[in-house]
Structure formats: C-alpha cells, structure tokens
Amino acid sequence: MNNYEIHLYVPKTGKLKPSMMDWLYENGQNSKQPEAFWPVKKLRRKALARHMLRLDPTLVPIQGPAGDVELHYPNEQLGIVLYIHERGIILFFPYMAYSIYSRVVLGICYTYIRYLYDAAAFWSFDPQLNIISYADDFTSMEDTIMLMDEMLPKLLQSG
C-alpha cells in the first residue's frame, strides 16, 4: 500500500517558503552543498528522537540508514512512522478511505505535527496537496482526508 507523507523542516529564516522547498527537492540529496546554502537547519537526530519519545513513550525507535532514526507507532495496523533524517522529518501513514479510522490516524499525526511546531518551530509541507503550513490545523486535516478519499480508488486500481 502506498503511503501519504508530510515533510517537516525548521527553516533558518523562521518561515518555510516555496522557493526553499524547490531548493530542497533539487539539492536535498547532495550532502556536499555548503551549509550556508541550506534553507533548513541541520537536526540532531537522536536528540530529536529522545524528545519525541518524551511526548509519546510508546513510539518504537529503530536505527535507520546513515544515522537516521525511525519512530514507529506501536500499533502496526495504523502504519504511522516518523522518519528523522539530517534535515527534517518525514511523517508516513497509509492512504485510507474517509472513515473514523482515517480520523484516528490523522489525529495522531497532526498531534505530532503540532507538537513539533510548538516545541521546535517545525513547519510542514504536504507534497500531495502542495501546501506549506507553520502548524497544521483542522482545515489541513480535512483537506488531507478528502485527498486520500479521492486518491485511494486510483491507488487500488494501479496496485
């Protein structure tokens, strides 16, 4: 099953802009870029993982590649993963039809997003909706649910 993803970054300027996202998509895999060019802060991955574990001690930490950290929600059926890499976090969760189940999953995810904004000034980028937000709210959650409801039949046909 395909995953929905939301990217979280701490912009150096205090505000995430579309031009920054363009730069990250073009250059984000190139670790040789000088620090001054990066529009987002470098993260201390393990320290951030410990911070998230204080919020939710039920998360299951797994060592990722190259020093990255994965935090898995303990209920595997929900499929929620926070992937902490050098420059940000990618929050993964499965596409699902509009239902109580989707509201539970998104409620958990948006709790993490809001906490990261409040605690560490993370901004979020939803590449599926092409929306940048300083702290996702109920409207963003509804937009995500509606998009998943629209996309799920297409994903089931192609898979």
Chain mean pLDDT for the chain? 85
How many CA atoms within 13 Å lie on the side-chain side of 142?
3
Run of H or E residues at 81? strand 81-84
Mean pLDDT of 50-78: 95
Give pLDDT tens digits for 97-150: 656 677 788 888 888 998 999 899 999 998 887 888 865 555 565 666 566 566
CA distance 7 to 91: 6
Residue 47: pLDDT above 70?
A: yes
pLDDT at 154: 56
136 against 46, higher pLDDT: 46
Q: How many domains, the chain?
A: 1
Position 151 scores a pLDDT of 56
For residue 34, the enclosing domain spans 3-158
- Identify the CATH number of the domain in which residue 100 sits: 3.30.310
